[in-house]
Amino acid sequence: MAKIKWRSGTLLAPLPPALVSCSDGERDNLITVGWTGIICSDPAKTYISLRPERYSYEIIKKTGEFVINVPSSHIIRSIDFCGVRSGRSVDKFKECRLTKETATEVKCPMVAESPISLECRVTDVIPLGTHDMFMADIVAVNVDERYVDEKGKLRIEQCSLATYAHGTYFALGKKIGSFGYSVKKKSTKKRK
């Protein structure tokens, strides 16, 4: 079987359909963002790429702050809604009945229904073409305590994470390995 060559495009999958919150101090807004990722570990840095015509673009450009709320399948309908309706004409928090939580470092709210919320402060805005890339420092990470065990470990498999691939949302399912498992020595302990 050979691969078919298509013209240049954005077919990288899966991606997180991140629910990004922002606020101009008077109105809080939500926007779904697929063009996001981690670009540095230390300092922890991320980016979101936004089209200048988005209502959220204006807000984030002005305030330099946003929160990335990691998507869970429990709120996937709201995530889709926030990606097809503009905050110019609808209060998306209200319409989706999502709960605002006060962030610790930035002035925009986090989404309580998301298991992980990353507070971000913009460091650079890079015009790229259709989208401008907002590079940002991750200034705080907030994890829902329900998913942290007694040893302080995040049980991410319990977070019902959702993902986005080629226009479709999926619920993450089966665990198939963990970091470095391919080279890990097998335990020599004898079973009783």
Ligand X SMILES: Cc1cc2nc3c(=O)[nH]c(=O)nc-3n(C[C@H](O)[C@H](O)[C@H](O)COP(=O)(O)O)c2cc1C
Q: Which helix (H) or strand (E) holds 139?
A: strand 132-143
**76 makes contact with ligand X (CB under 6 A):** no
**Selected binder of ligand X within 1, 2, 11, 84 (CB under 6 A):** 84
Query: Is 162 near ligand X (CB under 6 A)?
Result: no
49 binds ligand X (CB under 6 A): yes
**32: helix, coil or strand?**
strand
- Supply 59's token pair: 């807000």
Query: Could you tell me which stretch among 37-45, 80-88, 111-119, 155-163 binds ligand X (CB under 6 A)?
Result: 80-88
For ligand X, the closer of residues 167 and 177 by Cβ is 167
- Subset of 128-157 contacting ligand X (CB under 6 A): 131
Site stretch for ligand X (CB under 6 A), options 51-59, 69-77, 143-151, 177-185? 51-59
Q: Are 68 and 61 in contact (CB under 8 A)?
A: no
Nearby residues of 157 by Cβ (< 8 Å), 6 or more positions away: 175
Residue number of the CB atom closest to ligand X: 83
Nearer to ligand X, 54 or 110 (CB): 54
Which positions ≥6 away from 59 have C-beta within 8 Å? 22, 23, 24, 29
Q: For residues 41 and 63, give the distance between their C-alpha atoms in angstroms, rounded to a whole number.
A: 24
Quick one: which of 16, 34, 109, 115 contacts ligand X (CB under 6 A)?
34
Radius of gyration for the alpha carbons in the chain, expressed in angstroms and rounded: 19
